């Protein structure tokens, strides 16, 4: 019996070879790198969602303020985190007609290629956020709006009594970190007034 045990130890496998250990290490490294890449993607998507949420909130706030002004609520304003009070309104003294009062539009969206939008329909809203390490980060959003009075038809000179199409757009003003660059401008359109 003792001879069988010695023979089994002499010819049996008693551990891993160096090649098996290297293959296991490579497989483990590939798994760890994949998880790290996935975490970086998730963090980038979270940041993009924050940018989109802030732009949507600003678009909604400006849409509501412009709607209130058009319905006779008087001038309104929005204050950002550094104390700027932005007056939200419609300047009827500027050139009216296509495309209406305010910032330029392209189709159903605000045209952000316009270099100098009217001051009465544009603001650089500053949003502040506090990081876990206590550092306050300021992001500037370019917010623009356009108001068009709706007519009865393309050839008619009659207008609906107080019906307006309000288009509002918001986007980060100065570039974003690389992982957020695919965040698109937020655009909203609403009808205000009418019969």
pTM reported for the whole predicted model: 0.70
Q: Residue 11 in 3-state DSSP? A: helix
Smallest Cα–Cα separation from 61: which of 123, 115, 138, 149? Answer: 123
Q: Phi and psi of 78, rounded to 5°?
A: -130, 135
121: DSSP letter: G
The answer to whether the CB of 143 falls within 8 A of the CB of 122 is yes
DSSP secondary structure string, 41-58? HHHHHHHHHHHHHHHHHH
Beta-strand pair 159-172/186-193: antiparallel
Report how many domains make up the chain. 1
Contacts 24+ apart (CB under 8 A), 61-65: 62/88, 62/123, 62/143, 62/145, 62/168, 62/170, 63/145, 63/166, 63/168, 63/188, 63/190
The answer to whether the CB of 164 falls within 8 A of the CB of 149 is yes
The mean per-residue pLDDT over the stretch 166-183 comes to: 73
The answer to whether the CB of 166 falls within 8 A of the CB of 66 is yes
Domain that holds residue 185: 2-193
Residue 159 pLDDT class (50, 70, 90 cuts): very low
The mean per-residue pLDDT over the stretch 22-47 comes to: 89
pLDDT in tens, 122-142: 889 888 888 788 888 888 898
């Amino acid at each position: 019996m003792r001879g069988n045990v010695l023979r089994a130890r002499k010819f049996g496998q008693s551990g891993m070879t160096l090649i098996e250990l290297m293959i296991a290490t490579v497989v483990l490294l590939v798994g760890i790198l994949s998880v790290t890449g996935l975490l970086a993607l998730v963090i980038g998507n979270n940041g993009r969602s924050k940018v989109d949420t802030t732009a949507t909130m600003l678009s909604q706030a400006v849409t509501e303020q412009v709607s209130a002004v058009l319905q006779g609520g008087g001038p309104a304003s929005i204050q950002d985190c550094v104390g700027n009070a932005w007056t939200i309104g419609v300047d009827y003294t500027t050139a009216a007609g296509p495309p209406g009062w305010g910032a330029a539009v392209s189709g159903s969206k605000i045209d952000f290629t316009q270099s100098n939008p009217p001051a009465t329909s544009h603001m650089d809203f500053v949003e502040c956020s506090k990081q876990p390490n206590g550092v306050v980060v300021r992001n500037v959003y370019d917010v623009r709006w356009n108001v068009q009075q709706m007519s009865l038809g393309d050839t008619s000179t009659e207008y609906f009594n107080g019906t307006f199409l309000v288009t509002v757009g918001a986007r980060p003003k100065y570039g974003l970190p690389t992982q957020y660059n695919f965040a698109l401008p937020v655009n909203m359109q609403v009808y205000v007034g009418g019969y």
